[in-house]
Structure 1
């Protein structure tokens, strides 16, 4: 339970950092590690792809929306190894559920012994119950960098995507962000991992609430990223059935 509380606290901390300091200062790659390695590269990449979609046709005002979609997919491809690791961990946790249930029934009156035996089971099968949290924690700095790139580089305000003002909150995308976050967690098997199960409820609610107050561009990033991960997981999940069978032996 302590680990769950710690993880949720970390997520809240990262999300509150979205409104962090220097939000109105221009991006300066010489102004420290955060700007140099996170905000500036992301802002430059968004601008680069927006220019590729540029046209004299007024309809290409949507180019920043398409740029966000392309950059989101690139980021998810770069973090693919972490997603694979999370998927493997979820499959292993599913395979260990019968043994974990036996341990819970045997030591239901002794919480200390219950935790000890559960950890022994994880160590025996080389399973890290918190492995599934890593992709979420990695995404948080990227989400914060998106927020800074939007406001400090003045890329997004004034531009639209499919009629949606990217610089303003949009309730439709906010709700979609929450729904797709839940769908992603379920597809990744979070419900089978005791350490991740709490996130399956809390994280979608958090994302939805924050998305109601932050620019639609940020919600678009989250929705596209979730949809990409859901699709990716759908086609990949059967690749690890052997791991699940092997863990149960």
Structure 2
């Protein structure tokens, strides 16, 4: 599940990077145009200019805008993380059965047995009401993608924003400080998500949880510092969401244990198609042939003896 989540985040960030790098075009004179600039960057510039009128800085305007967006997404993100945690707890309860099926998968030799093992794996998930994707949803990330695009284009192509200096950092240029801060916050979020899971599961998911922080680091290094502020504040909210789920995890674990009191098992052997038995030949026919052959051989031997005499 963690692997699926990391791959999902990786795919969305890669798509976002492609969109951001190619959706805004410029004329020969350097004037930007295009759908992202006209319908996302310009409104974002107007909103940040309006907020900056109260905060006195575009840097604080980006922080305020990020807090508003993340507060709007917080209930949705917590609900998604709760759904993912429920699936993790269910997976832990059926882990012994999955381990047995995986052993059969390695030992499977015939195509029928391999198909039966795959069917058994899916049946275990289905019978115990477990999602194959682990309750992972992409809606919160999809909602944020237009905001990423708007901030990226607004900061890059707005002279006021790109030349703004916030706490010694130029918002229009990449910042190692913000990249490292974003990496550390998402790394802390990954660590917090490991606190409530068993030790054997930590070994399996620990390395995968590093993927998200590393991808955030690589992306913020190559993005304007204004977008780095968005990622850093977003990472703090991610830590808050994980802490909320960790507080509810004992209750979630109790509810899941009550729901899955009777875990449904699936036998691989029951799913292997039975081969039709070939009819066996009667034993009498075999016994009749043997004496007749012996009698014939004895008669031939007797004739040969008389001829010699």
Instruction: Give TM class, smaller chain.
Output: 0.7 to 0.9
> Deviation at 1:140?
3.0
Partner residue, 1:120: 126
Quote the offset at 1:97 in angstroms: 3.4
Pair 1:172 & 2:166 matched: no
For residues 95-134 of structure 1, what are the structure 2 equivalents within 5 Å? 95-108=89-102, 109-110=104-105, 112-113=118-119, 115-120=121-126, 124=129, 129-134=134-139
Separation in structure 2 between the aligned mates of residue 129 and residue 156 of structure 1, nearest angstrom: 40
Relative to the length of structure 1, the TM-score reads 0.77
Structure 2, unmatched stretches of 5+, are 106-116, 259-309
Uncovered stretches (5+) of structure 1, i.e. residues with no partner: 55-62
Match of 1:136 in 2: 141
Alignment deviations for residues 189-238 of structure 1 (CA, whole Å, 9 cap, x no partner): 699699x9776222221221121121111111100111133135424642
Structure ID, larger Rg: 2
May I ask how many residue pairs the two structures share in their alignment? 237
Write the deviation string for residues 131-153 of structure 1: whole angstroms up to 9, x where unpaired.
25443343333222210121233
159, 168, 181: which is aligned to 1:163? 168
**In structure 1, which of residues 66, 69, 72 is the aligned counterpart of residue 63 of structure 2?**
69
With normalisation by structure 2, the TM-score equals: 0.64
Root-mean-square deviation over aligned CA pairs: 3.5
CA distance in 2, matches of 1:218, 1:157: 11
Instruction: Name the CA distance, whole Å, in 2 between partners of 1:169 and 1:24.
Output: 21
Equivalences for 1:1-249 in 2 at 5 Å?
A: 7=8, 8-24=10-26, 32=35, 34=36, 38-54=40-56, 63-108=57-102, 109-110=104-105, 112-113=118-119, 115-120=121-126, 124=129, 129-188=134-193, 200-235=209-244, 237-239=246-248, 241-249=250-258
Q: Alpha-carbon deviation of 1:64? A: 1.0
Contact 1:149 1:155 (C-alpha < 8 Å) held by counterparts: no
